[in-house]
Chains A and B, each alone.
Chain A
């Protein structure tokens, strides 16, 4: 038995030959299809249907050579063996010239037939394997080509500037962003040339030289000086498999945003430091007064001072709390949006405000429209928002004044107004309200304890809920803070 079954076509006009071949080859485990003419064979034969075909050379009608040509055209991978009764060198040569792999002479022994067929089959399978390998290689090449073009596209599209220089410090690759960031106009750098001092900032060239010289450094990242502003360069060494340096990849990045963020952070920190320093300084000064014995013998004065100290520490605690809220709101963590009936929140807020309002003889009036639409909101943040606004309306009110809180709705919004009859806000200051630590400073407001963060927290909460804040004010008459929040329906 042969190791692997082959599919074999036998074309012979002699029934005895067909039968003989079938018997011998079937006993070897092969599948045999036998037909009596070239014409039948052509009809039957399709590409890939047979591994080997035994073609009788001399048949009535279509000859073996003629048939061979037609079948080869249909399937060049099938192995063709010519069977001939006149085994001469001439016919053998003619057959192989016509594309037959081998020939076998009649009469043949079963062993001879089996040997020829198995050799042909082995040849066929080898050929098929080679073809498969070739296809796989072609697929790989295609992949590689696609990969290269993809990488090139990515590099060309990057917002960061990229360039590659080789061991000889020649420019090998760069992208359009590099030229844009470095402000290169007209004189495009040439590949295969050293980096021109006219195109590349001296500082960048110096950095690259440093990395070239050290060879060890894998990455240097710092801001460039001398060239266009706000650019940072990262340089990394490219190495081959043996860890030998091949050149440098330099990435240029625009750090305007990063620097502006750093500046804002630093401004904010000095604002916070300033806000902490004033109350701490005042408390320390008061304590010094007591320690120096200035108030000795005047317990009433001493008590006044201690009350003020206590108030100032309270304000410091509030400042810390506000700072934490301010930072939390900035990061939008834990915001739990749910349909919320704002009327309830306003009732709670006004109830909490009753005591501080009463101590200054201020009446707080709440008017909420019936069946106020719900809004999508975080309940805690809404409570914080309206508590801040109502607290302000009480703090900046005159003694015996009024705070009015109203809730109504328009087509798209629920509108809450918090109005007071207090100091009012100077015209120029309205636009700045909501800036962190901005406070209106007048003789009157100096007496009022506040952190300058309350309204900016309110603004953040309103913005986080896609709402809108409007402020109307008249100095000496009072202010109205109007909050518009989108209805959830």
Chain B
């Protein structure tokens, strides 16, 4: 597979070792990766790097900033970016003060509106399943 053909995955995650581990696996499977440590950097990288898929950790420092990342992207003017597949990495099924569908008072999205993403993975991520799901979302058959 040539460099131009490699699909690019953006990993938005604050733990550098988790980024490294996930990157290693994805690169081994033929993807290129870029990363951002928070939502703000992540949104910049979406525009500058134009990835094919995003892995997003919702447990970032500012609490719900992962959710805002999703909603901001889904309202982007650029249709290509707006429809990027997103897989959310989360430990949310464990006890956590985070709500999966946080209420938003400014009206950008309604309370309990379903988070418009393509998949959820519990952390630590089952790597083989992740690779499989990434492949499926990118329309590849393995």
Interface residues of A (CB under 8 A from B): 270, 273-274, 277-278, 281-286, 288-289, 292, 294-295, 301, 305, 308, 312, 441, 443, 446-447
**Once the chains are docked, how many angstroms separate the CA of A283 from the CA of B124?**
9
**Once the chains are docked, how many angstroms separate the CA of A288 from the CA of B15?**
16
Q: Does B38 contact A (CB under 8 A)?
A: yes
- Residues of A within 8 Å of B117, CB to CB, are none
- Min Cβ gap A428→B in Å is 13
* B37 contacts A443, C-beta separation under 8 Å: yes
* B91 contacts A446, C-beta separation under 8 Å: no
- Min Cβ gap B128→A in Å is 7
* B17 contacts A289, C-beta separation under 8 Å: no
**Once the chains are docked, how many angstroms separate the CA of A43 from the CA of B9?**
124
On whether A289 and B124 interact (CB within 8 A), knowing A282-B15, A282-B21, A294-B28, the answer reads: no
* B16 contacts A270, C-beta separation under 8 Å: no
- Across the A-B interface, give the 8 residue pairs with the lowest CB-CB distance, nearest first: A282-B17, A285-B21, A284-B124, A285-B124, A294-B28, A441-B61, A289-B21, A282-B18
**Once the chains are docked, how many angstroms separate the CA of A305 from the CA of B17?**
9
Residue of B nearest to A291 (CB): B127
Residue of A nearest to B41 (CB): A443
- Known contacts A286-B17, A446-B16; 6 additional CB pairs below 8 A are A281-B15, A282-B18, A288-B126, A294-B24, A294-B28, A443-B37
**Once the chains are docked, how many angstroms separate the CA of A294 from the CA of B25?**
6
On whether A273 and B41 interact (CB within 8 A), knowing A281-B18, A288-B21, A289-B21, the answer reads: no
Q: Does B96 contact A (CB under 8 A)?
A: yes
Q: Does B95 contact A (CB under 8 A)?
A: yes
- Residues of A within 8 Å of B41, CB to CB, are 443
Question: Which B1-25 residues have C-beta < 8 A from chain A?
Answer: 14-18, 20-22, 24-25
* A285 contacts B22, C-beta separation under 8 Å: yes
What DSSP secondary structure best describes chain B's contact surface?
loop
On whether A270 and B128 interact (CB within 8 A), knowing A286-B17, A441-B61, the answer reads: no
- Residues of A within 8 Å of B94, CB to CB, are 277
* B95 contacts A270, C-beta separation under 8 Å: yes
On whether A441 and B17 interact (CB within 8 A), knowing A273-B95, A284-B124, A295-B24, the answer reads: no
- Residues of A within 8 Å of B128, CB to CB, are 292
- Residues of B within 8 Å of A288, CB to CB, are 21, 124-127
* B17 contacts A312, C-beta separation under 8 Å: yes
Q: Does B139 contact A (CB under 8 A)?
A: no
Q: Does B97 contact A (CB under 8 A)?
A: yes
**Once the chains are docked, how many angstroms separate the CA of A289 from the CA of B18?**
10
What DSSP secondary structure best describes chain A's contact surface?
helix
**Once the chains are docked, how many angstroms separate the CA of A155 from the CA of B17?**
63
> Contact check: which of A277, A281, A447 meets B16 at CB < 8 Å?
A447
**Once the chains are docked, how many angstroms separate the CA of A292 from the CA of B129?**
12
What range describes how many residues of B lie at the interface?
20 to 34
> Contact check: which of A277, A284, A305, A446 meets B14 at CB < 8 Å?
A446
**Once the chains are docked, how many angstroms separate the CA of A273 from the CA of B97?**
11
* A281 contacts B25, C-beta separation under 8 Å: no
* A285 contacts B18, C-beta separation under 8 Å: yes
- Min Cβ gap B84→A in Å is 23
**Once the chains are docked, how many angstroms separate the CA of A447 from the CA of B17?**
9
- Min Cβ gap B101→A in Å is 20
- Min Cβ gap B135→A in Å is 15
Could you list some 24 contacts between A and B, CB below 8 A? A270-B96, A270-B97, A274-B59, A277-B91, A281-B123, A281-B124, A282-B17, A282-B18, A282-B21, A285-B17, A285-B18, A285-B21, A285-B125, A285-B127, A286-B17, A286-B21, A288-B124, A288-B127, A289-B21, A292-B25, A292-B128, A305-B20, A443-B37, A447-B16
**Once the chains are docked, how many angstroms separate the CA of A292 from the CA of B15?**
21
- Residues of B within 8 Å of A301, CB to CB, are 24
Residue of B nearest to A439 (CB): B61
- Residues of B within 8 Å of A446, CB to CB, are 14-16, 37
**Once the chains are docked, how many angstroms separate the CA of A284 from the CA of B123?**
9
| Per-residue A-contact encoding for B86-105, CB less than 8 Å = 1, 0 else | 00000100111100000000
- Residues of A within 8 Å of B61, CB to CB, are 441
**Once the chains are docked, how many angstroms separate the CA of A63 from the CA of B26?**
134
> Contact check: which of A273, A284, A289, A443 meets B25 at CB < 8 Å?
A289
**Once the chains are docked, how many angstroms separate the CA of A295 from the CA of B123?**
20
Residue of B nearest to A286 (CB): B21
On whether A289 and B24 interact (CB within 8 A), knowing A273-B95, A277-B91, A441-B61, the answer reads: yes
- Residues of A within 8 Å of B38, CB to CB, are 441
**Once the chains are docked, how many angstroms separate the CA of A121 from the CA of B97?**
91
- Residues of A within 8 Å of B96, CB to CB, are 270, 274
| Per-residue A-contact encoding for B26-48, CB less than 8 Å = 1, 0 else | 00100000000110010000000
**Once the chains are docked, how many angstroms separate the CA of A292 from the CA of B132?**
14
